[in-house]
Structure 1
Amino acid sequence: MDPRTSLTALRDFCAEHLGPGLAERVAGLARPGFALTPAAPDQAAGHSRFGGDPLLEPGVPWPTCEGLPMSLLAVLDTDALPPWLDGLLPPGTGLLNFFHLDTESEQSDPAAWDVVRELGVRAPEAGCVVAARSRLAVETGPPTGASVFAPVAWQAEPGFVLPDLFDDAWDTLGLGLGADHDAVQAFTYELHNGLSVPGEPRSEDLAFGRPVFPTGSAPLLPDGEEAESYHHLLQLSDKHEWSIGGDGGWMHWSIPTRALRAGDFTQAIPTPDIW
Protein backbone atom coordinates (compact mmCIF):
# COMPACT_ATOMS: atom_id res chain seq x y z
CA MET A 1 0.00 0.00 0.00
CA ASP A 2 1.34 3.45 -0.90
CA PRO A 3 1.32 6.39 1.60
CA ARG A 4 -1.65 8.18 0.05
CA THR A 5 -3.83 5.06 0.03
CA SER A 6 -2.79 4.18 3.57
CA LEU A 7 -3.55 7.67 4.87
CA THR A 8 -6.98 7.62 3.18
CA ALA A 9 -7.73 4.29 4.85
CA LEU A 10 -6.70 5.76 8.21
CA ARG A 11 -8.97 8.79 7.75
CA ASP A 12 -11.88 6.53 6.81
CA PHE A 13 -11.21 4.40 9.88
CA CYS A 14 -11.15 7.47 12.14
CA ALA A 15 -14.36 8.76 10.54
CA GLU A 16 -16.14 5.50 11.39
CA HIS A 17 -15.29 6.00 15.05
CA LEU A 18 -15.29 9.79 15.41
CA GLY A 19 -17.19 11.35 12.52
CA PRO A 20 -15.59 13.24 9.63
CA GLY A 21 -14.72 16.48 11.45
CA LEU A 22 -12.79 14.95 14.32
CA ALA A 23 -11.39 12.25 12.04
CA GLU A 24 -9.44 14.74 9.95
CA ARG A 25 -7.88 16.31 13.05
CA VAL A 26 -7.01 12.98 14.66
CA ALA A 27 -5.59 11.50 11.45
CA GLY A 28 -3.45 14.64 11.19
CA LEU A 29 -1.54 13.44 14.25
CA ALA A 30 -0.42 10.25 12.48
CA ARG A 31 3.20 10.04 11.39
CA PRO A 32 4.80 7.59 8.96
CA GLY A 33 6.83 4.86 10.62
CA PHE A 34 8.33 1.45 9.95
CA ALA A 35 7.80 -1.81 11.80
CA LEU A 36 11.22 -3.41 12.30
CA THR A 37 11.10 -7.19 12.35
CA PRO A 38 13.80 -9.89 12.01
CA ALA A 39 14.65 -10.60 8.40
CA ALA A 40 16.69 -12.92 6.25
CA PRO A 41 19.69 -11.07 4.76
CA ASP A 42 18.03 -10.79 1.33
CA GLN A 43 14.90 -9.22 2.89
CA ALA A 44 16.62 -6.69 5.15
CA ALA A 45 16.20 -2.93 4.74
CA GLY A 46 19.78 -2.41 3.64
CA HIS A 47 22.09 -2.45 6.66
CA SER A 48 19.27 -1.96 9.19
CA ARG A 49 19.80 -4.16 12.23
CA PHE A 50 19.92 -4.51 15.96
CA GLY A 51 23.42 -4.99 17.40
CA GLY A 52 26.63 -5.79 15.60
CA ASP A 53 29.36 -3.22 14.90
CA PRO A 54 28.57 0.36 13.90
CA LEU A 55 28.98 1.63 10.36
CA LEU A 56 30.99 4.83 10.68
CA GLU A 57 32.92 7.06 8.34
CA PRO A 58 36.72 6.76 8.69
CA GLY A 59 38.11 9.08 11.32
CA VAL A 60 34.84 9.52 13.22
CA PRO A 61 35.58 9.01 16.93
CA TRP A 62 33.76 6.38 18.94
CA PRO A 63 31.20 8.15 21.19
CA THR A 64 31.86 8.23 24.92
CA CYS A 65 30.11 9.35 28.09
CA GLU A 66 32.23 10.59 30.98
CA GLY A 67 35.21 8.84 29.40
CA LEU A 68 33.45 5.48 29.00
CA PRO A 69 32.64 4.10 25.53
CA MET A 70 28.99 3.83 24.61
CA SER A 71 27.66 0.65 23.01
CA LEU A 72 26.12 0.31 19.55
CA LEU A 73 22.51 -0.82 19.85
CA ALA A 74 21.16 -0.46 16.33
CA VAL A 75 21.80 0.73 12.79
CA LEU A 76 19.04 2.22 10.64
CA ASP A 77 19.69 2.43 6.90
CA THR A 78 17.51 5.36 5.86
CA ASP A 79 18.53 5.07 2.20
CA ALA A 80 16.89 1.62 2.10
CA LEU A 81 13.60 2.60 3.76
CA PRO A 82 10.49 2.79 1.59
CA PRO A 83 9.86 6.40 0.45
CA TRP A 84 7.21 7.31 3.04
CA LEU A 85 8.92 10.10 4.96
CA ASP A 86 7.88 12.85 2.53
CA GLY A 87 10.99 15.01 2.61
CA LEU A 88 11.54 14.69 6.36
CA LEU A 89 15.17 13.64 5.80
CA PRO A 90 17.73 15.30 3.54
CA PRO A 91 18.59 13.16 0.48
CA GLY A 92 21.45 10.79 1.10
CA THR A 93 21.12 10.81 4.90
CA GLY A 94 22.43 7.26 4.86
CA LEU A 95 23.08 5.29 8.03
CA LEU A 96 22.10 6.17 11.57
CA ASN A 97 24.06 4.48 14.36
CA PHE A 98 22.28 4.44 17.72
CA PHE A 99 24.48 4.38 20.83
CA HIS A 100 23.84 4.31 24.57
CA LEU A 101 25.88 3.60 27.67
CA ASP A 102 25.33 -0.06 28.58
CA THR A 103 24.63 -0.55 32.28
CA GLU A 104 22.47 -3.69 32.37
CA SER A 105 23.83 -6.43 30.11
CA GLU A 106 26.28 -9.12 31.20
CA GLN A 107 28.95 -7.29 29.16
CA SER A 108 28.53 -3.91 30.83
CA ASP A 109 31.40 -2.16 32.56
CA PRO A 110 30.54 -1.73 36.28
CA ALA A 111 31.83 1.83 36.07
CA ALA A 112 29.01 2.64 33.63
CA TRP A 113 26.43 2.13 36.35
CA ASP A 114 28.13 4.74 38.52
CA VAL A 115 27.99 7.23 35.65
CA VAL A 116 24.33 6.61 34.85
CA ARG A 117 23.39 6.68 38.53
CA GLU A 118 24.87 10.16 38.71
CA LEU A 119 23.62 11.50 35.37
CA GLY A 120 20.41 9.47 34.98
CA VAL A 121 19.53 7.10 32.16
CA ARG A 122 17.60 9.94 30.49
CA ALA A 123 20.64 12.22 30.35
CA PRO A 124 21.42 13.44 26.82
CA GLU A 125 25.08 12.60 27.47
CA ALA A 126 24.27 8.88 27.93
CA GLY A 127 23.26 8.29 24.31
CA CYS A 128 23.68 9.63 20.80
CA VAL A 129 23.02 9.03 17.11
CA VAL A 130 25.95 9.11 14.68
CA ALA A 131 25.12 9.51 11.00
CA ALA A 132 27.31 8.13 8.21
CA ARG A 133 27.11 8.45 4.44
CA SER A 134 26.51 4.99 3.00
CA ARG A 135 29.26 5.19 0.37
CA LEU A 136 31.90 6.03 3.00
CA ALA A 137 30.77 3.98 6.01
CA VAL A 138 32.76 0.96 7.16
CA GLU A 139 32.23 -1.50 10.00
CA THR A 140 34.17 -0.23 12.98
CA GLY A 141 35.33 -2.49 15.78
CA PRO A 142 34.61 -1.39 19.34
CA PRO A 143 37.11 -0.11 21.90
CA THR A 144 37.68 -1.96 25.15
CA GLY A 145 34.71 -1.51 27.46
CA ALA A 146 32.01 -1.27 24.80
CA SER A 147 29.43 -4.07 24.64
CA VAL A 148 28.77 -5.86 21.35
CA PHE A 149 25.41 -7.54 20.78
CA ALA A 150 24.58 -10.29 18.32
CA PRO A 151 23.35 -8.69 15.08
CA VAL A 152 19.73 -9.20 14.00
CA ALA A 153 18.90 -7.92 10.50
CA TRP A 154 15.65 -5.96 10.15
CA GLN A 155 13.09 -5.60 7.44
CA ALA A 156 10.99 -2.42 7.50
CA GLU A 157 7.24 -2.37 6.82
CA PRO A 158 5.77 1.15 6.44
CA GLY A 159 2.52 2.58 7.75
CA PHE A 160 1.06 5.48 9.74
CA VAL A 161 1.29 5.60 13.54
CA LEU A 162 -1.16 7.41 15.80
CA PRO A 163 0.02 8.71 19.20
CA ASP A 164 0.06 6.39 22.18
CA LEU A 165 -2.60 6.84 24.87
CA PHE A 166 -0.06 8.62 27.09
CA ASP A 167 1.41 10.87 24.39
CA ASP A 168 1.10 14.62 24.91
CA ALA A 169 0.33 14.94 21.19
CA TRP A 170 -3.38 14.50 21.95
CA ASP A 171 -3.32 17.78 23.89
CA THR A 172 -2.45 19.66 20.70
CA LEU A 173 -6.01 19.04 19.45
CA GLY A 174 -7.18 21.61 22.00
CA LEU A 175 -10.50 19.87 22.61
CA GLY A 176 -11.08 21.15 26.13
CA LEU A 177 -14.05 19.49 27.83
CA GLY A 178 -17.18 18.29 26.07
CA ALA A 179 -18.41 15.71 23.61
CA ASP A 180 -15.41 15.91 21.26
CA HIS A 181 -12.99 15.44 24.16
CA ASP A 182 -14.94 12.44 25.44
CA ALA A 183 -15.13 10.86 21.99
CA VAL A 184 -11.39 11.18 21.38
CA GLN A 185 -10.57 9.91 24.86
CA ALA A 186 -12.75 6.85 24.32
CA PHE A 187 -11.10 6.32 20.94
CA THR A 188 -7.58 6.48 22.41
CA TYR A 189 -8.50 3.93 25.07
CA GLU A 190 -9.82 1.62 22.36
CA LEU A 191 -6.54 1.99 20.48
CA HIS A 192 -4.60 1.26 23.67
CA ASN A 193 -6.66 -1.88 24.26
CA GLY A 194 -6.04 -3.35 20.84
CA LEU A 195 -8.36 -1.69 18.32
CA SER A 196 -6.77 -2.58 14.99
CA VAL A 197 -5.80 0.40 12.84
CA PRO A 198 -5.58 -0.31 9.10
CA GLY A 199 -2.02 -0.25 7.82
CA GLU A 200 -0.47 0.46 11.22
CA PRO A 201 3.11 -0.84 11.55
CA ARG A 202 2.90 -3.76 13.99
CA SER A 203 6.13 -4.30 15.86
CA GLU A 204 7.54 -3.36 19.25
CA ASP A 205 10.66 -2.15 17.42
CA LEU A 206 9.82 0.92 15.36
CA ALA A 207 11.61 3.46 13.19
CA PHE A 208 10.17 6.99 13.10
CA GLY A 209 6.39 7.08 13.63
CA ARG A 210 5.44 7.80 17.26
CA PRO A 211 6.72 6.16 20.44
CA VAL A 212 4.83 3.72 22.65
CA PHE A 213 5.01 3.98 26.45
CA PRO A 214 4.31 0.64 28.13
CA THR A 215 4.96 2.08 31.60
CA GLY A 216 2.28 4.75 31.16
CA SER A 217 4.93 7.46 30.98
CA ALA A 218 5.24 10.17 28.31
CA PRO A 219 7.96 11.63 26.08
CA LEU A 220 10.92 12.36 28.35
CA LEU A 221 12.41 15.48 26.83
CA PRO A 222 14.62 18.22 28.27
CA ASP A 223 12.78 20.59 30.60
CA GLY A 224 10.78 23.19 28.76
CA GLU A 225 10.84 21.40 25.40
CA GLU A 226 7.52 20.77 23.62
CA ALA A 227 7.00 17.15 22.57
CA GLU A 228 5.57 18.15 19.20
CA SER A 229 8.76 20.04 18.34
CA TYR A 230 10.58 16.69 18.38
CA HIS A 231 10.40 13.74 16.01
CA HIS A 232 10.73 10.12 17.06
CA LEU A 233 13.67 8.25 15.51
CA LEU A 234 13.79 4.73 16.94
CA GLN A 235 12.08 2.52 19.51
CA LEU A 236 13.68 -0.63 20.92
CA SER A 237 11.57 -2.91 23.08
CA ASP A 238 12.86 -4.81 26.11
CA LYS A 239 12.93 -8.08 24.14
CA HIS A 240 16.58 -7.80 23.19
CA GLU A 241 19.84 -9.02 24.64
CA TRP A 242 20.40 -5.45 25.84
CA SER A 243 18.15 -3.70 28.36
CA ILE A 244 18.02 -0.39 30.20
CA GLY A 245 16.54 -2.18 33.20
CA GLY A 246 13.67 -0.97 35.36
CA ASP A 247 10.00 -1.64 34.68
CA GLY A 248 9.17 -1.35 31.01
CA GLY A 249 12.65 -0.45 29.91
CA TRP A 250 11.91 0.53 26.31
CA MET A 251 14.52 2.69 24.63
CA HIS A 252 13.78 5.63 22.35
CA TRP A 253 15.76 8.32 20.59
CA SER A 254 14.23 11.61 19.44
CA ILE A 255 15.44 14.71 17.66
CA PRO A 256 14.16 18.29 17.18
CA THR A 257 12.23 18.24 13.92
CA ARG A 258 14.16 21.25 12.59
CA ALA A 259 17.43 19.38 13.20
CA LEU A 260 16.08 16.25 11.51
CA ARG A 261 15.15 18.21 8.39
CA ALA A 262 18.65 19.72 8.38
CA GLY A 263 20.30 16.33 8.87
CA ASP A 264 21.92 17.45 12.15
CA PHE A 265 21.86 14.23 14.18
CA THR A 266 24.19 15.67 16.81
CA GLN A 267 20.99 17.01 18.39
CA ALA A 268 19.40 13.55 18.75
CA ILE A 269 18.93 12.46 22.37
CA PRO A 270 17.83 9.33 24.25
CA THR A 271 14.20 9.59 25.43
CA PRO A 272 13.69 6.24 27.23
CA ASP A 273 10.53 4.94 28.85
CA ILE A 274 11.55 3.52 32.22
CA TRP A 275 10.44 3.52 35.83
Structure 2
Amino acid sequence: MDMNPETTLSALRDFCAERVGVELATRLVGLARPGFALTAAGPGEAAGHSRFGGRAMLEPGTPWPTCEGFPLSLLAVLDTDALAPWLGGLLPPGTGLLNFFCLDFESEQRDPVADALMGKFIGNDPQVVRVIAARSAHAVETDPPSGSSVFAPVQWAASAGFAFPDTWDPAWDHLDLGPEADDKARAMPGMYIADLFPEWGQRPGALDSEDIAFGRPVYPTGSGPWMPGGEDPNVYHHLLQLSGQDEWWIGGDGGWMHWSIPTDALRAGDFSRAIPTPDIW
Protein backbone atom coordinates (compact mmCIF):
# COMPACT_ATOMS: atom_id res chain seq x y z
CA MET A 1 0.00 0.00 0.00
CA ASP A 2 2.30 2.71 -1.28
CA MET A 3 -0.28 5.51 -1.27
CA ASN A 4 -3.20 6.49 0.89
CA PRO A 5 -6.73 6.27 -0.57
CA GLU A 6 -7.07 10.00 -1.22
CA THR A 7 -3.78 10.14 -3.13
CA THR A 8 -4.72 7.13 -5.23
CA LEU A 9 -8.18 8.52 -6.00
CA SER A 10 -6.64 11.84 -7.05
CA ALA A 11 -4.22 10.07 -9.39
CA LEU A 12 -7.08 7.96 -10.75
CA ARG A 13 -9.20 11.05 -11.38
CA ASP A 14 -6.31 12.73 -13.23
CA PHE A 15 -5.78 9.59 -15.32
CA CYS A 16 -9.45 9.62 -16.36
CA ALA A 17 -9.62 13.37 -16.88
CA GLU A 18 -6.80 13.25 -19.43
CA ARG A 19 -9.00 11.01 -21.58
CA VAL A 20 -12.62 12.08 -20.95
CA GLY A 21 -12.43 15.48 -19.27
CA VAL A 22 -12.84 16.52 -15.66
CA GLU A 23 -16.63 16.29 -15.38
CA LEU A 24 -17.04 12.75 -16.70
CA ALA A 25 -13.87 11.67 -14.88
CA THR A 26 -15.31 12.86 -11.56
CA ARG A 27 -18.54 10.96 -12.15
CA LEU A 28 -16.63 7.89 -13.32
CA VAL A 29 -14.36 7.79 -10.28
CA GLY A 30 -17.49 8.03 -8.14
CA LEU A 31 -18.18 4.41 -9.14
CA ALA A 32 -14.83 3.18 -7.79
CA ARG A 33 -14.92 1.20 -4.56
CA PRO A 34 -11.92 0.47 -2.33
CA GLY A 35 -10.74 -3.10 -2.28
CA PHE A 36 -7.75 -5.44 -2.21
CA ALA A 37 -6.07 -7.79 -4.63
CA LEU A 38 -5.39 -11.01 -2.72
CA THR A 39 -2.31 -13.04 -3.63
CA ALA A 40 -0.25 -15.74 -1.92
CA ALA A 41 1.88 -14.04 0.73
CA GLY A 42 5.63 -14.28 0.92
CA PRO A 43 7.51 -14.07 4.22
CA GLY A 44 6.29 -11.08 6.22
CA GLU A 45 3.67 -10.11 3.58
CA ALA A 46 0.50 -11.58 5.09
CA ALA A 47 -2.39 -9.19 5.75
CA GLY A 48 -2.87 -10.22 9.37
CA HIS A 49 -4.77 -13.51 9.54
CA SER A 50 -6.16 -13.22 5.99
CA ARG A 51 -6.01 -16.54 4.15
CA PHE A 52 -7.71 -19.11 1.98
CA GLY A 53 -8.59 -22.34 3.79
CA GLY A 54 -7.35 -23.53 7.13
CA ARG A 55 -9.54 -23.62 10.19
CA ALA A 56 -12.18 -21.09 11.15
CA MET A 57 -11.25 -18.27 13.55
CA LEU A 58 -14.29 -18.04 15.81
CA GLU A 59 -15.06 -16.75 19.27
CA PRO A 60 -15.58 -19.58 21.79
CA GLY A 61 -19.18 -20.69 21.90
CA THR A 62 -20.00 -19.53 18.35
CA PRO A 63 -22.20 -22.17 16.67
CA TRP A 64 -20.77 -23.74 13.51
CA PRO A 65 -22.92 -22.67 10.53
CA THR A 66 -25.04 -25.31 8.81
CA CYS A 67 -27.40 -25.83 5.89
CA GLU A 68 -30.37 -27.90 7.05
CA GLY A 69 -28.19 -29.25 9.84
CA PHE A 70 -25.23 -30.16 7.61
CA PRO A 71 -22.02 -28.22 8.36
CA LEU A 72 -20.70 -25.67 5.89
CA SER A 73 -16.98 -25.50 5.10
CA LEU A 74 -14.59 -22.65 5.89
CA LEU A 75 -13.17 -21.25 2.66
CA ALA A 76 -11.48 -18.01 3.72
CA VAL A 77 -10.72 -15.56 6.50
CA LEU A 78 -10.32 -11.81 6.05
CA ASP A 79 -8.57 -9.82 8.77
CA THR A 80 -10.36 -6.47 8.64
CA ASP A 81 -8.08 -5.02 11.31
CA ALA A 82 -5.37 -5.06 8.62
CA LEU A 83 -7.69 -3.87 5.84
CA ALA A 84 -9.98 -1.28 7.50
CA PRO A 85 -7.73 1.82 7.09
CA TRP A 86 -8.19 1.66 3.30
CA LEU A 87 -11.98 1.17 3.48
CA GLY A 88 -12.89 4.64 4.72
CA GLY A 89 -15.25 3.79 7.56
CA LEU A 90 -17.15 1.14 5.61
CA LEU A 91 -16.88 -1.31 8.52
CA PRO A 92 -17.83 -0.77 12.17
CA PRO A 93 -14.76 -0.37 14.40
CA GLY A 94 -13.55 -3.65 15.86
CA THR A 95 -15.13 -5.86 13.21
CA GLY A 96 -12.09 -8.12 13.43
CA LEU A 97 -12.01 -11.35 11.45
CA LEU A 98 -14.56 -12.37 8.82
CA ASN A 99 -14.99 -16.12 8.29
CA PHE A 100 -16.43 -17.12 4.92
CA PHE A 101 -18.31 -20.41 4.80
CA CYS A 102 -19.91 -22.27 1.90
CA LEU A 103 -21.47 -25.67 1.28
CA ASP A 104 -18.70 -27.78 -0.26
CA PHE A 105 -20.33 -29.65 -3.12
CA GLU A 106 -17.38 -29.69 -5.56
CA SER A 107 -14.09 -30.62 -3.90
CA GLU A 108 -12.67 -34.13 -3.55
CA GLN A 109 -13.36 -33.82 0.19
CA ARG A 110 -17.08 -33.24 -0.21
CA ASP A 111 -19.50 -35.34 1.75
CA PRO A 112 -22.27 -37.19 -0.18
CA VAL A 113 -24.81 -35.33 1.94
CA ALA A 114 -23.64 -32.07 0.35
CA ASP A 115 -24.38 -33.48 -3.11
CA ALA A 116 -27.91 -34.28 -2.01
CA LEU A 117 -28.37 -30.79 -0.58
CA MET A 118 -27.19 -29.12 -3.78
CA GLY A 119 -29.93 -30.99 -5.55
CA LYS A 120 -32.28 -28.97 -3.39
CA PHE A 121 -30.44 -25.65 -3.01
CA ILE A 122 -28.93 -23.88 -6.01
CA GLY A 123 -25.55 -22.15 -5.62
CA ASN A 124 -27.04 -18.70 -5.08
CA ASP A 125 -29.39 -19.73 -2.29
CA PRO A 126 -28.54 -17.74 0.88
CA GLN A 127 -28.65 -20.93 2.95
CA VAL A 128 -25.50 -22.37 1.33
CA VAL A 129 -23.18 -19.64 2.66
CA ARG A 130 -22.48 -17.77 5.87
CA VAL A 131 -20.17 -14.96 6.96
CA ILE A 132 -19.33 -14.87 10.67
CA ALA A 133 -17.36 -12.07 12.33
CA ALA A 134 -15.10 -12.66 15.32
CA ARG A 135 -13.31 -10.09 17.47
CA SER A 136 -9.60 -10.55 16.91
CA ALA A 137 -8.69 -10.61 20.61
CA HIS A 138 -11.20 -13.41 21.27
CA ALA A 139 -10.99 -15.52 18.09
CA VAL A 140 -9.38 -18.96 18.22
CA GLU A 141 -8.78 -21.61 15.57
CA THR A 142 -11.81 -23.89 15.69
CA ASP A 143 -11.93 -27.52 14.54
CA PRO A 144 -14.83 -28.23 12.19
CA PRO A 145 -17.51 -30.85 12.81
CA SER A 146 -17.63 -34.08 10.83
CA GLY A 147 -18.66 -33.54 7.20
CA SER A 148 -17.05 -30.11 6.89
CA SER A 149 -14.06 -29.89 4.52
CA VAL A 150 -10.72 -28.39 5.60
CA PHE A 151 -8.50 -26.95 2.87
CA ALA A 152 -4.76 -26.36 3.05
CA PRO A 153 -4.24 -22.75 4.23
CA VAL A 154 -2.71 -20.16 1.91
CA GLN A 155 -1.89 -16.86 3.59
CA TRP A 156 -2.87 -13.78 1.61
CA ALA A 157 -1.05 -10.55 0.92
CA ALA A 158 -3.45 -7.67 0.24
CA SER A 159 -2.64 -4.92 -2.27
CA ALA A 160 -4.98 -1.95 -1.92
CA GLY A 161 -6.69 -0.25 -4.84
CA PHE A 162 -10.06 0.67 -6.32
CA ALA A 163 -12.43 -1.55 -8.28
CA PHE A 164 -14.87 -0.43 -10.97
CA PRO A 165 -18.02 -2.31 -12.01
CA ASP A 166 -17.56 -5.23 -14.38
CA THR A 167 -18.62 -4.57 -17.99
CA TRP A 168 -22.24 -5.68 -17.62
CA ASP A 169 -22.75 -4.63 -14.02
CA PRO A 170 -25.97 -2.57 -13.66
CA ALA A 171 -24.00 -0.02 -11.63
CA TRP A 172 -22.98 1.50 -14.99
CA ASP A 173 -26.60 2.45 -15.62
CA HIS A 174 -26.26 5.16 -12.95
CA LEU A 175 -23.33 6.86 -14.70
CA ASP A 176 -24.16 10.09 -16.55
CA LEU A 177 -22.09 9.77 -19.75
CA GLY A 178 -22.67 13.39 -20.77
CA PRO A 179 -24.16 14.88 -23.94
CA GLU A 180 -21.49 13.40 -26.25
CA ALA A 181 -22.65 9.82 -25.73
CA ASP A 182 -24.99 8.34 -28.36
CA ASP A 183 -27.84 5.87 -27.86
CA LYS A 184 -25.55 2.85 -28.27
CA ALA A 185 -23.25 4.16 -25.56
CA ARG A 186 -26.17 4.72 -23.21
CA ALA A 187 -27.43 1.19 -23.90
CA MET A 188 -24.02 -0.35 -23.11
CA PRO A 189 -22.22 2.13 -20.84
CA GLY A 190 -19.69 -0.40 -19.56
CA MET A 191 -18.58 -1.23 -23.10
CA TYR A 192 -18.49 2.47 -24.00
CA ILE A 193 -16.15 3.29 -21.11
CA ALA A 194 -13.94 0.30 -21.94
CA ASP A 195 -13.55 1.56 -25.52
CA LEU A 196 -12.49 4.98 -24.25
CA PHE A 197 -9.67 3.49 -22.18
CA PRO A 198 -7.60 0.95 -24.14
CA GLU A 199 -5.01 1.16 -21.34
CA TRP A 200 -7.61 0.75 -18.59
CA GLY A 201 -5.57 -1.93 -16.86
CA GLN A 202 -2.76 0.59 -16.28
CA ARG A 203 -4.87 3.00 -14.25
CA PRO A 204 -3.72 4.00 -10.73
CA GLY A 205 -5.08 1.67 -8.07
CA ALA A 206 -6.06 -1.15 -10.45
CA LEU A 207 -6.68 -4.45 -8.65
CA ASP A 208 -4.76 -7.09 -10.59
CA SER A 209 -5.92 -10.38 -9.08
CA GLU A 210 -8.62 -13.01 -9.53
CA ASP A 211 -9.17 -13.07 -5.76
CA ILE A 212 -10.48 -9.77 -4.40
CA ALA A 213 -11.67 -8.50 -1.03
CA PHE A 214 -14.35 -5.78 -1.01
CA GLY A 215 -14.19 -3.58 -4.14
CA ARG A 216 -16.54 -4.90 -6.81
CA PRO A 217 -17.09 -8.38 -8.29
CA VAL A 218 -15.80 -9.61 -11.66
CA TYR A 219 -17.96 -11.95 -13.76
CA PRO A 220 -15.92 -13.82 -16.42
CA THR A 221 -19.09 -15.27 -17.99
CA GLY A 222 -20.11 -11.79 -19.09
CA SER A 223 -23.09 -11.72 -16.75
CA GLY A 224 -23.68 -9.63 -13.65
CA PRO A 225 -24.70 -10.08 -10.02
CA TRP A 226 -27.94 -12.00 -9.47
CA MET A 227 -29.86 -10.97 -6.40
CA PRO A 228 -32.62 -12.91 -4.65
CA GLY A 229 -36.09 -11.62 -5.28
CA GLY A 230 -34.84 -9.31 -8.01
CA GLU A 231 -33.35 -6.85 -5.51
CA ASP A 232 -31.30 -3.92 -6.79
CA PRO A 233 -27.62 -5.01 -6.76
CA ASN A 234 -26.61 -1.39 -6.29
CA VAL A 235 -27.75 -1.51 -2.66
CA TYR A 236 -25.32 -4.38 -2.02
CA HIS A 237 -21.59 -4.28 -1.35
CA HIS A 238 -19.10 -6.91 -2.43
CA LEU A 239 -17.25 -8.79 0.33
CA LEU A 240 -15.08 -11.45 -1.30
CA GLN A 241 -14.33 -12.93 -4.72
CA LEU A 242 -12.77 -16.37 -4.76
CA SER A 243 -11.72 -17.62 -8.19
CA GLY A 244 -10.91 -21.17 -7.12
CA GLN A 245 -7.96 -23.08 -5.71
CA ASP A 246 -6.28 -26.40 -6.42
CA GLU A 247 -8.48 -28.06 -3.82
CA TRP A 248 -11.74 -26.25 -4.34
CA TRP A 249 -13.85 -25.01 -7.24
CA ILE A 250 -17.46 -24.01 -7.68
CA GLY A 251 -19.55 -24.91 -10.69
CA GLY A 252 -17.92 -28.04 -12.08
CA ASP A 253 -15.52 -26.90 -14.83
CA GLY A 254 -14.92 -23.60 -13.11
CA GLY A 255 -16.76 -20.71 -11.58
CA TRP A 256 -15.99 -17.85 -9.23
CA MET A 257 -17.61 -17.52 -5.84
CA HIS A 258 -18.76 -14.17 -4.48
CA TRP A 259 -20.18 -13.12 -1.15
CA SER A 260 -22.16 -9.86 -1.05
CA ILE A 261 -24.13 -8.00 1.61
CA PRO A 262 -26.58 -5.07 1.75
CA THR A 263 -24.50 -1.96 2.34
CA ASP A 264 -26.61 -0.90 5.31
CA ALA A 265 -26.02 -4.32 6.93
CA LEU A 266 -22.28 -4.05 6.28
CA ARG A 267 -22.08 -0.64 7.95
CA ALA A 268 -24.07 -2.03 10.90
CA GLY A 269 -21.88 -5.14 11.17
CA ASP A 270 -24.84 -7.49 10.51
CA PHE A 271 -23.09 -10.22 8.52
CA SER A 272 -26.06 -12.58 8.90
CA ARG A 273 -27.46 -10.86 5.79
CA ALA A 274 -24.55 -11.86 3.54
CA ILE A 275 -25.59 -13.81 0.44
CA PRO A 276 -23.87 -15.78 -2.36
CA THR A 277 -23.71 -14.17 -5.81
CA PRO A 278 -21.65 -16.77 -7.73
CA ASP A 279 -20.60 -16.76 -11.36
CA ILE A 280 -20.84 -20.35 -12.60
CA TRP A 281 -20.00 -21.80 -15.99
TM-score range, shorter chain: over 0.9
Query: Is the CA contact (8 Å cut-off) linking 1:205 and 1:236 kept in structure 2?
Result: yes
CA RMSD of aligned residues (A): 2.0
> By how many angstroms is 1:40 displaced?
2.9
Q: How many residues align?
A: 275
Structure 1 residue runs without a partner (length 5+): none
Task: State which drifts further: 74-83 or 98-107.
Answer: 74-83
Residue 128 (structure 2) pairs with residue 126 (structure 1):
yes
% same residue = 64
Pairing of 1:124-273 with structure 2 (within 5 A): 124-173=126-175, 175=177, 179=181, 182=185, 184=189, 185-189=191-195, 195-246=201-252, 248-273=254-279
Query: Is the CA contact (8 Å cut-off) linking 2:165 and 2:217 kept in structure 1?
Result: yes
After superposition, the Cα gap between the structure-2 partners of 1:265 and 1:245, relative to the gap in structure 1 and judged at 3 Å, is same
Deviation string, structure 1 residues 226-246 (Cα, Å, up to 9, x no partner):
111000000001344211124
Q: Normalising by structure 1, what TM-score?
A: 0.94
The residue type equivalent to 1:167 in the other structure is D
Task: State which drifts further: 17-26 or 229-238.
Answer: 17-26
After superposition, the Cα gap between the structure-2 partners of 1:98 and 1:25, relative to the gap in structure 1 and judged at 3 Å, is same
The residue type equivalent to 1:89 in the other structure is L
- The aligned residue for residue 82 of structure 2 is 80
Query: Is the CA contact (8 Å cut-off) linking 1:165 and 1:192 kept in structure 2?
Result: no
After superposition, the Cα gap between the structure-2 partners of 1:240 and 1:177, relative to the gap in structure 1 and judged at 3 Å, is farther
Pairing of 1:47-126 with structure 2 (within 5 A): 47-81=49-83, 83-126=85-128
Query: Is the CA contact (8 Å cut-off) linking 1:214 and 1:248 kept in structure 2?
Result: no
Looking at structure 2, the residues matched to 117 and 70 of structure 1 have their Cα atoms a distance apart, in angstroms, of 16
Match of 2:30 among 25, 28, 31: 28
- The aligned residue for residue 45 of structure 2 is 43
Structure 2 residue runs without a partner (length 5+): none
Looking at structure 2, the residues matched to 150 and 226 of structure 1 have their Cα atoms a distance apart, in angstroms, of 36
After superposition, the Cα gap between the structure-2 partners of 1:248 and 1:164, relative to the gap in structure 1 and judged at 3 Å, is farther
Task: State which drifts further: 141-150 or 12-21.
Answer: 12-21
The residue type equivalent to 1:132 in the other structure is A
Query: Is the CA contact (8 Å cut-off) linking 2:84 and 2:91 kept in structure 1?
Result: no
SS of the aligned residue for 1:188 comes to helix
Looking at structure 2, the residues matched to 215 and 160 of structure 1 have their Cα atoms a distance apart, in angstroms, of 22
Looking at structure 2, the residues matched to 215 and 240 of structure 1 have their Cα atoms a distance apart, in angstroms, of 21
